[in-house]
């Protein structure tokens, strides 16, 4: 299976570590894995031009068109974000906004997707963040195979914590079964 992950942390912390760990695990199991780290891209903000929603024509030309093509090529998309104020990170939100032209022709319809939220606390806050990701997928008619909230706060927490790493392995293995 060809798996693409889009990671939206603003620092080199838990989301990066978890997604890289997950990628290595998938490769060990014989799958191909590519990571798009949004902080290394130069995606501009949406201009707020709602025409793109109706015409399918992007109002802003930059790396987003390349990312859209990449998403279409892969069998499974993993979206990973830290929980920021019970929501996705600004990088993830910008990515979501920039998919506006791809709603028009339902480019991402039936795209198999998995969602990962990294959060310091449990409870309502990360659930709200995850709900926003799920709503994004619902609008685009994507198919969410699995989702996970991973609890980690300080930037090296994931790298140091064997239990969290096991949780990610389980998450990856469940995806391979559901594919
Ligand atoms: C701007 C900001 C807002 C945050 N808001 C929340 C929050 O609402 N609830 C929570 O549990 N953690 C919150 N956190 C903590 C992060 O979710 C947590 O530290 C996570 O591990 C960050 O992932 P990262 O290491 O990939 O950056 C916030 C962190 C930042 C920087």
pLDDT digits (tens), the chain, 179 positions: 999 999 999 999 999 999 999 999 999 999 999 999 999 999 999 999 989 999 999 999 999 999 999 999 999 999 999 999 999 999 999 999 999 999 999 999 999 999 999 999 999 999 999 999 999 999 999 999 999 999 999 999 999 999 999 999 999 999 998 76
17 and 159 in contact (C-beta within 8 Å)? yes
Domain range for 74 is 2-178
Residues framing ligand 1 (Cβ under 6 A) = 9, 11, 13-15, 82-86, 118-121, 125, 152-153, 155
In this structure, which residue's CA is closest to atom 31 in ligand 1? 84
Other Cβ atoms closer than 10 A to 137: 21
CA atoms within 13 A on the CB side of 29: 19
Number of domains in the chain: 1
Between CA 72 and CA 157 the distance in angstroms is 33
Q: What is the CATH number of the domain that holds 160?
A: 3.40.50.360
Between CA 77 and CA 129 the distance in angstroms is 18
In this structure, which residue's CA is closest to atom 21 in ligand 1? 153
67 and 5 in contact (C-beta within 8 Å)? no
């Amino acid at each position: 299976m060809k798996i693409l992950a889009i990671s939206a942390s603003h620092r080199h912390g838990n989301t990066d570590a978890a997604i890289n760990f997950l990628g290595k695990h998938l490769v060990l199991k014989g799958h191909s894995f590519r990571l798009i780290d949004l902080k290394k891209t130069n995606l501009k903000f949406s201009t707020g031009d709602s025409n793109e929603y109706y015409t399918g024509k992007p109002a802003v030309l930059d790396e987003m068109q390349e990312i859209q093509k990449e998403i279409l090529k892969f069998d499974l998309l993993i979206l990973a974000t830290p929980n920021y104020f019970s929501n996705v990170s600004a990088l993830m939100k910008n990515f979501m906004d920039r998919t506006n032209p791809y709603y028009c022709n339902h480019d991402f319809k039936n795209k198999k997707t998995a969602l990962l939220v990294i959060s310091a606390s449990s409870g309502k806050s990360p659930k709200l963040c995850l709900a926003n990701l799920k709503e994004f997928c619902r609008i685009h008619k994507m198919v969410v195979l699995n989702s996970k909230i991973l609890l980690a706060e300080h930037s090296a927490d994931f790298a140091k914590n064997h239990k969290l790493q096991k949780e990610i392995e389980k998450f990856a293995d469940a995806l391979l079964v559901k594919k």
